[in-house]
Structure 1
């Protein structure tokens, strides 16, 4: 007789160990075609945990508590996913913040960021109810963000995960620099390659011919990028251009990683993980930024079905990394949002920007080849507000024009679509919307297929809609019109999930 050495004859612990090396979809496929493997899966918290992480498109964070039993981590992960569809928006903790009407406000990573260009002031404040373990609270009064003579501050970027504040300033209305400092104490950032980062000029032009009209500074981990809109003098005339420069700020104060082109009607960008950059111009281009000694290398170009005119971008909140999170969303499986024209909202899965096998960078990819299965398009004439984090989207919809608004939570992760039927409306069927009136369109309609789960939260906002943000376990509601003002203090509603 031949010895029984098949896979199913192995001890269950060995089967679990072997299956744990498979991607979560392969684990599910194996357990769906074999009763014995199905029983192995059902009795193994470890395999279920792998599937739950993969199905929610999450990666273990650097601060994952490996001392906590896997069964407990699995339960917490599942409970958190369910909690988003049962969030009580009427049960919130009020949080007063100092605010002036000229201030820009942004919320991420358990902090609220305030930057007032007119007053040259900035603040970072930790938020309740659960700030990160390392929380920062600072106020920079006029003249303290940058002490360089004859300089004007034009943008500020703060990242608590890196203990970093970066300040963009112009000296004598001509030359632009970026200073890197620590959030916790005054002085140069201890991990920075130097105090000041220097910009590359435009070939064939000196600084006297270049005038900066506007800037935006973004960062993720080791990368900082500055986007500039420029007016370039050419004799008696001038041309508008944009320039994007990227630094590895911990290793060099200079950079050759620069993109520039003639100014178009639309331009924006975001980081997709540690080594990829997504740039929006008249289309969507993916660049590799692994080698910071050279110009970003084009990997692929994706065409959109309508022009990127009058466009707003709502890019992943993961641009600022969570400090103490046990999990982080997978850069290859996040959601980004584009509000195009006057009424179209495009929800796009970033997975399309990573599955590039065999694609020629010089050949633009038509919408029909990538868009329908990786996108969900909504027609929303009364667009109000939206914010994205990982695979979740928080969106404000108008119920009665100018009178009533509702909050919708949408989850585009595979497990939400598979397992959350009792907690929301599952949408798998294709949806078709009319896009007449736009030029250069391939037809009069768009049909898209990206599955999702949607829940309408039980609260109505009357007469005005709030500014909204979300992160891993909270949503933030800020109504500029209706909040009570006490001096310069407004109230932010923090809803724990």
Structure 2
């Protein structure tokens, strides 16, 4: 077989190799000098290997747009900028009247006020002229929350019904570009649970719900729902918004849940209020309701402590599509995005003492998403045992090797951002004042295992970062009754420059620096372009 391949013209050999997984391309390249030369001298094969190394996937076909070598150079250049915290350009976004409900996805920032949703398509360092803005009126809705998917030109608005309808929320499915009824939507408006089940009626904050869209699914979490027992629980409703016959799945959680997030088009996680992570999966053909296929315990706490609040975030939303490339104002220059199966989730945890309910201790921890799809042997055995069906996998079995914990001095999530395997946070330079308005430094962490392995071979002259491997974190001197673990090594760098920032967001090539006044009013948004 090898002899036959050696007789192929070089162009034909390279074309055949592009259909192999990146790992197999590497294996082929070490079999003989001819194959190695073929791989080394093929821009297309090198681009495939670069994407795999940086845990990215192509957001546009290899046949469209820029030359392959240009894409590789752009990818490597951005990764170099992240490693050295060297942004190429900086701009300030125009800020109209702003509100407290906002979203950032696919290079688009959206902010809702009382009567409008303002959108800004952000520029890149390579195309500063691409920034543009537009607005959609919301005067016909009593807006509660919104989200959007540029991949589907989809805007999802959660609002209260105008009239005294029996349901609590309308979910409007519009086009992000023109605010028209979405052509793929079977119905332009979906209806959520009965109004009588919502405990807060019209005075509830936006935090009482969460809306998420992934592919053909729209999901709405209502955190405070009255149960038949007159206790509070939670309701999660999931629609296939493209089906002609409305398909709605409703799951009620008697103990309540703090948060949920899709992991893929057919799986999602739920965070219960008692510190259990539950994994739900749909049948492969999506023909039936989801089933709980895994339960994972957070670290056991000392007797006097309880989990008071936990929530999670992934960016981009695992399972979400690639940016829109159909033209118009949503046309995006994004060429690559994180591999949807290989990225981080970040969990924010608040713990209180039952003897002092006012004093909370906060932590964050990162989890490699791949763990929930490739469990270790012990985890698989525990999940497969029918006698242990309702028992969560202990933290000591799954968490020690697959997470990284950090204590938080500020009981907020807004100083952290996440994208793929990278995380950015702001560093308060005034330890005496948690809510200091003084300029802050930025810390960038990269958990990509490939860059950690390759760091020893790279030329690191001038690099001011370091690798953190860590040792076992003994949580017993904290509220925890067991060790937290020391998994997920990472590469870290802290900026020398300080920035006017209180809140940070990010994507593949940008850091958004949001500056808020002490009262929460948005003052400015600066964009660093890598």
TM-score range, shorter chain: 0.7 to 0.9
For the pair 1:222 / 2:223, whether they are aligned, the reply is no
1:423-445 per-residue CA deviation (whole Å, 9 max, x = no partner) reads 4635263333342366663x2x3
| Counterpart Cα distance in 2 of 1:103 and 1:253 | 35
| Counterpart Cα distance in 2 of 1:416 and 1:327 | 17
Q: 1:436 aligns with which of 473, 476, 482?
A: 476
1:378 deviation in Å? 2.2
| Counterpart Cα distance in 1 of 2:193 and 2:309 | 29
**Which residue does the alignment assign to 1:478?**
514
For the pair 1:262 / 2:254, whether they are aligned, the reply is yes
Confirm or deny: 8 A CA contact 2:84 2:465 kept in the other structure.
Answer: no
| Counterpart Cα distance in 1 of 2:185 and 2:222 | 22
1:347-404 per-residue CA deviation (whole Å, 9 max, x = no partner) reads 1110111225983363633333332332222234346611111111111233441366
Unmatched 5+ residue regions in structure 2? 302-306, 325-331, 351-360
Confirm or deny: 8 A CA contact 1:271 1:278 kept in the other structure.
Answer: yes
Q: 2:338 aligns with which of 314, 329, 332?
A: 329
Q: 1:285 aligns with which of 256, 278, 284?
A: 278
Counterparts of 1:51-450 in structure 2, within 5 Å, are: 51-66=49-64, 68-88=66-86, 92-100=90-98, 102-116=99-113, 119-128=114-123, 130=127, 137-141=134-138, 143-144=139-140, 146=141, 152-171=142-161, 172=164, 174-176=166-168, 177-199=170-192, 208=196, 211=199, 214-232=208-226, 234=228, 238-252=230-244, 254-264=246-256, 266-281=257-272, 282-289=275-282, 292-306=286-300, 308-318=307-317, 321=321, 322-323=323-324, 324=332, 325-341=334-350, 342-356=361-375, 359=380, 360=383, 362=389, 364-382=392-410, 385-401=415-431, 402=433, 405-420=440-455, 421=458, 422=460, 423=463, 425-427=465-467, 429-436=469-476, 441=481, 443=482, 445-450=483-488
Confirm or deny: 8 A CA contact 2:101 2:111 kept in the other structure.
Answer: yes
1:53 deviation in Å? 0.9
CA 459–440 in structure 1, closer or farther in 2 if over 3 Å, else same: closer
Confirm or deny: 8 A CA contact 2:259 2:311 kept in the other structure.
Answer: no
Confirm or deny: 8 A CA contact 1:45 1:71 kept in the other structure.
Answer: yes
Confirm or deny: 8 A CA contact 2:466 2:493 kept in the other structure.
Answer: no
Confirm or deny: 8 A CA contact 1:98 1:489 kept in the other structure.
Answer: no
1:198 deviation in Å? 3.1
Q: 2:503 aligns with which of 467, 490, 496?
A: 467
Confirm or deny: 8 A CA contact 1:386 1:393 kept in the other structure.
Answer: yes
| Counterpart Cα distance in 1 of 2:523 and 2:480 | 45
Counterparts of 1:7-26 in structure 2, within 5 Å, are: 16=14, 19-26=17-24
Q: SS in structure 1 opposite 2:309?
A: coil
CA 250–131 in structure 1, closer or farther in 2 if over 3 Å, else same: farther
Q: SS in structure 1 opposite 2:392?
A: coil
Confirm or deny: 8 A CA contact 2:310 2:349 kept in the other structure.
Answer: yes
TM normalised by structure 2 equals 0.77
CA 210–76 in structure 1, closer or farther in 2 if over 3 Å, else same: closer
1:89 deviation in Å? 5.7
RMSD between superposed Cα atoms in Å: 3.6
| Counterpart Cα distance in 1 of 2:498 and 2:2 | 64
| Counterpart Cα distance in 2 of 1:4 and 1:268 | 53
Confirm or deny: 8 A CA contact 1:372 1:447 kept in the other structure.
Answer: yes
Confirm or deny: 8 A CA contact 1:383 1:397 kept in the other structure.
Answer: no
Unmatched 5+ residue regions in structure 1? 147-151, 202-206
Q: SS in structure 1 opposite 2:79?
A: helix
| Counterpart Cα distance in 2 of 1:328 and 1:133 | 19
1:99 deviation in Å? 3.6
Q: Which moved more, 1:382-391 or 1:48-57?
A: 382-391
TM normalised by structure 1 equals 0.81
| Counterpart Cα distance in 2 of 1:408 and 1:115 | 29
